[in-house]
Structure 1
Amino acid sequence: MSSIKFFKYIDFNWNIPHNIFTLQVFYRRAHVEPPNSTSINDFVIDDSEEGEEDNIIAVPFESDMPTSEEVELAIILSAFREDHLSGGVISTCCIRRKKLLESAIKVISRVTFCWTDSPQIEFVGEDADDMGGPQREFFRLLMIEVQTSLGIFEGKAGQVFLSYDQAALDQNKYFKAGNLIAWSIAHGGPCIKALDTSLFQLMCGQEPQLEQFDWQLLPDPDVQSKVKRILECKTAGDLTALQKDLGNWINECGVPFIFTATIEDIPKIYAYVVKHYIFLRTARTVHQFTEGMNAFGKLWDLVKENWIAFLPLFTNMQEPLSKAAFKAIFTYSYSSRGTNRREEEEDTIYCWELVLNMIEDKLTELRFEDLLIFITGADEVPALGFPNKPCIDFFEQESGQRRLPYASTCMMCLFLPRGITQEDELHRMLFQATKDSLGFGKV
């Protein structure tokens, strides 16, 4: 059974749910020639009768073209997978959604676990075979859990630092985090996308310009106030007061020349103190974390060697999906021109476009990422891309009932009802489908 998310019937009053699940979902396939790189900002319905009919229409965008860094990363990861992964060897991983992090750690802690095997994810109580969708959803949720629940990171969301926790070191939590992140990356999943950029560069043996480091990113308010005091030191009098009040603390940060420093040395002192706090102080935790990644195919060594390419995976460089980028992900599977079904499908897609405009204009809480998660299990296009082009298909509403849009995350296909003529109605349906989705085959 393929992984179908939120397949649900409701009546016209939107208050009587009936659970429906189907063993097979059929959708049309057609050969599509590679589209020209044409920039299209708005949806256009072509009513012309000329030209050959295609069942699937691809809408191209210039923003669909990968950057040179994305191409390089894809090549690096493809080579890594070719060198290390076990091909067709599959390992079943039983995951309890409510205890996802704990379940994942139990999986990788088994003596029979082999990280090179392809993980087949089974969410307990959810009726789906993993043909891609459950795995994408699992690794996406796992990276969130590693960042927020494992207890080894500190700082603002999206710009975190490794904490210094001796108990966590003794429990090998940093090592396990490295294992889990490497496991996800190796199998085409995301990374945490949350490390502070300066910390990531230091971990990779680089020397970032810490003189420009934003002290407000530091997680400890007391340390914030101290480094701010260093940064605000502008006169000889300020320096004398700094040496008196914070000299010993700065010395303990590995800057003993504070007592003989001049005003010209302040930027360097500031950079040294920041480096001590975010990197040197946590050297043991950094080492355990990177050793955890290296346990899986020396992956951290590969990251360190190609740190620029891996920046988008480890740091928060991701921009919110734009409408153009979101639309470029999909093809549309239409019925033949001139049929009633085609007319109803174009009605629905026009409303779909208006809903996308609502998202772009921030007139709804719905996000493009919410829709992408609902359809594919991922909140962004993976570094290696999707295995095939996600699509939008259609279904027929049954008389007297309203069935919500549903998705197969394995086929990566969103099914929309034909004949929707009001964008508000489609928006309500999509909002409920995405927000109330409880898992694969569950409502």
Structure 2
Amino acid sequence: MTLESNVLEKKGSDCYKQYTSLIYDCIELNSSSDEEGVQFAENSSVRLHDGDQVTLHDVITNLALQIDEDAVSKFNIDRINIWDGALRGFKRKTYKPENRMSVMFTDSDGNSEGAVDRGGPTREFLTLLMQTLHNSKIYEGSEDWKNLTCDSQALRDDDYFLAGRIIAISLVHGGPSPNFFSRTLYDSLAYDPQQVTPSVKDICDCDIAEIILEMENVSTLEGLKDVAAKHCNLLHVAGCYRYLQNLQDRDVLVQDFMKWYVCGRTRNSLERLKEGLKTLGVLDAIVAHPVLFANSFCWREEVLTSEQFSELFKISFSTAGSNKRREEQRIVGYWRDYLQDVEDADSSVSLRQILAFITGADKEPPLGFQPQPSVEFLHENNEGYISNFPQANTCCNILKLPILKSFDEFKKQMDFAILNSPGFGHP
């Protein structure tokens, strides 16, 4: 069944029209290239022909219309081996990408950490899974500039397809984006791979980099012929060994060799990754909106500040003028000072750790947080008990702050709870 018919069947013609108007509307994106690849737009929206704007959030929100909240695919995950649990879940015969995900983590003793997943455990699982992909053998390169490998075992196991499917599922189900693709790899997905021009930055094999440097540094035709003869076996495999007529052939030879090493050698890996990304229509959306998705796939520095952090949360105060309200206003002051200390590195935790403790994700996913994160307060309960530690509900994105007498005690208990919570926090 096609993506369009899935949406039409599940959500009706109105939703389908809304989806197609965003994804397949006539939109022209003029892209230019520098030596590192496509020059991406800094803004997070593009303008349509009728003057309206569509954002990445709009596109992913419409893709998420396919999710069937009444059908559930279950995942039983051990944090020590995220990948193993993911494989079991994704390869289960009854698994369907459009089913709502329900994740149950087990602790070191095999006990369940929670019975119901209303979003938090899924976000945490997808965040951990994206980190696992980042460090997997199917990618190579620096931390923020990854290209595909050519791994025969991974091809036999179809790991590239699974990686593409996981990325697509993460985006549509409210999880994080990769943020580690090289521009060369992203361009190969979003545009015609034949038009992609790799750079030396894409070469992580030192021996290959030395060969390229050796060819680039020759200054005579005879020297170029000698270098080509020296590496003729590898150049033959790459399909770029040829008769060299002049020194200008050097640049063509270098580009052809780099293109083979980065793109040609990994063509099968790329095709399987693209097949996986077709899940839930994500690859079609990337091709339709390449500028919008670029910053979600490629790395860019995102510094989370205490002010930005505070703006993510709404404060749920008690009735104005009440004793509880006065205590809560004091604690909010502690909370904001605590965030400032964390930003200033005067704490044992980071802002991303705090966000993960509350939501299950260490940064805001492209689909955003649903519901909006909020702050509540832990007053004395009916039995007279007062909690000294913060509590987090990652399913509802709620942080409950303790009512403590001093800022120093507040900071101490916040640090302890966040650093000692299982995973990113309790669902």
TM-score calculated relative to the size of structure 1: 0.74
Deviations 1:98-140 (A, max 9, x none): 2321111111212111111111112231124111111111111
Q: Is the 8 A contact 2:388 2:404 kept in 1?
A: no
- Structure 2 residue identity aligned to 1:101: W
Following TM superposition, by how much is the alpha carbon of 1:305 offset from its aligned partner in structure 2, in angstroms?
Answer: 3.2
Q: Is the 8 A contact 1:127 1:441 kept in 2?
A: no
2:392 aligned residue (389, 392, 407) = 407
Instruction: Tell me what 1:51 maps to.
Output: none
CA distance in structure 2 between the aligned counterparts of 1:326 and 1:267, rounded to whole angstroms? 49
Following TM superposition, by how much is the alpha carbon of 1:282 offset from its aligned partner in structure 2, in angstroms?
Answer: 0.6
1:183 is aligned to 2:165: no
Query: CA 1:393/1:277 → structure 2, altered by over 3 Å: closer, same or farther?
Result: same
- Structure 2 residue identity aligned to 1:332: I
Deviations 1:47-104 (A, max 9, x none): xxxxxxxxxxxxxxxxxxx83269522222222232x333432233322332321111
1:169 aligned residue (144, 148, 155) = 155
1:204 is aligned to 2:202: no
Q: Percent same amino acid at aligned positions?
A: 27
* Within-5 A mapping of 1:44-193: 67-68=44-45, 71-82=54-65, 84-124=66-106, 125-149=112-136, 151-193=137-179
Instruction: Tell me what 1:308 maps to.
Output: 291
CA distance in structure 1 between the aligned counterparts of 2:75 and 2:327, rounded to whole angstroms? 42
User: What is the DSSP-based 3-state SS (H/G/I as helix, E as strand, rest coil) of the residue aligned with 2:180?
Assistant: coil
User: What is the DSSP-based 3-state SS (H/G/I as helix, E as strand, rest coil) of the residue aligned with 1:202?
Assistant: helix
Q: Is the 8 A contact 1:93 1:120 kept in 2?
A: yes
* Within-5 A mapping of 1:239-388: 239=224, 242-243=227-228, 245-246=230-231, 249-250=234-235, 252-257=237-242, 259-262=244-247, 264-294=248-278, 296-388=279-371
Tell which deviates more after alignment, 73-82 or 276-285.
Answer: 73-82
Query: CA 1:272/1:430 → structure 2, altered by over 3 Å: closer, same or farther?
Result: farther
Cα RMSD after superposing both structures: 2.9
Instruction: Tell me what 1:417 maps to.
Output: 402
Deviations 1:183-204 (A, max 9, x none): 2223122232211111211233
CA distance in structure 2 between the aligned counterparts of 1:310 and 1:345, rounded to whole angstroms? 40
Deviations 1:144-191 (A, max 9, x none): 122324x31222223222111112211212222222222222312223
Following TM superposition, by how much is the alpha carbon of 1:403 offset from its aligned partner in structure 2, in angstroms?
Answer: 1.9
Instruction: Tell me what 1:14 maps to.
Output: none
User: What is the DSSP-based 3-state SS (H/G/I as helix, E as strand, rest coil) of the residue aligned with 1:176?
Assistant: helix
Query: CA 1:250/1:401 → structure 2, altered by over 3 Å: closer, same or farther?
Result: same
CA distance in structure 2 between the aligned counterparts of 1:320 and 1:221, rounded to whole angstroms? 32
Deviations 1:210-240 (A, max 9, x none): 4xx343x532121122223344446668646
- Structure 1 residue identity aligned to 2:418: T
User: What is the DSSP-based 3-state SS (H/G/I as helix, E as strand, rest coil) of the residue aligned with 1:188?
Assistant: coil
CA distance in structure 1 between the aligned counterparts of 2:425 and 2:208, rounded to whole angstroms? 49
User: What is the DSSP-based 3-state SS (H/G/I as helix, E as strand, rest coil) of the residue aligned with 1:88?
Assistant: strand
Q: Is the 8 A contact 1:394 1:417 kept in 2?
A: yes
Tell which deviates more after alignment, 222-231 or 156-165.
Answer: 222-231
CA distance in structure 1 between the aligned counterparts of 2:58 and 2:229, rounded to whole angstroms? 54
CA distance in structure 2 between the aligned counterparts of 1:142 and 1:182, rounded to whole angstroms? 12
- Structure 1 residue identity aligned to 2:174: G
CA distance in structure 1 between the aligned counterparts of 2:292 and 2:426, rounded to whole angstroms? 38
Unaligned runs of 5+ in 1: 1-65
Q: Is the 8 A contact 2:120 2:394 kept in 1?
A: yes
Unaligned runs of 5+ in 2: 1-42, 47-52, 107-111
Query: CA 1:208/1:440 → structure 2, altered by over 3 Å: closer, same or farther?
Result: closer
Query: CA 1:366/1:260 → structure 2, altered by over 3 Å: closer, same or farther?
Result: farther
CA distance in structure 1 between the aligned counterparts of 2:215 and 2:333, rounded to whole angstroms? 58
Query: CA 1:182/1:244 → structure 2, altered by over 3 Å: closer, same or farther?
Result: same
Following TM superposition, by how much is the alpha carbon of 1:362 offset from its aligned partner in structure 2, in angstroms?
Answer: 2.9
Deviations 1:296-353 (A, max 9, x none): 2343233233222222232222513122322221111223344333333233222222
User: What is the DSSP-based 3-state SS (H/G/I as helix, E as strand, rest coil) of the residue aligned with 2:95?
Assistant: coil
Q: Is the 8 A contact 1:127 1:440 kept in 2?
A: no
Tell which deviates more after alignment, 176-185 or 371-380.
Answer: 176-185
- Structure 2 residue identity aligned to 1:147: H
Instruction: Tell me what 1:50 maps to.
Output: none
User: What is the DSSP-based 3-state SS (H/G/I as helix, E as strand, rest coil) of the residue aligned with 1:438?
Assistant: coil
Q: Is the 8 A contact 2:73 2:99 kept in 1?
A: yes
- Structure 2 residue identity aligned to 1:144: Q
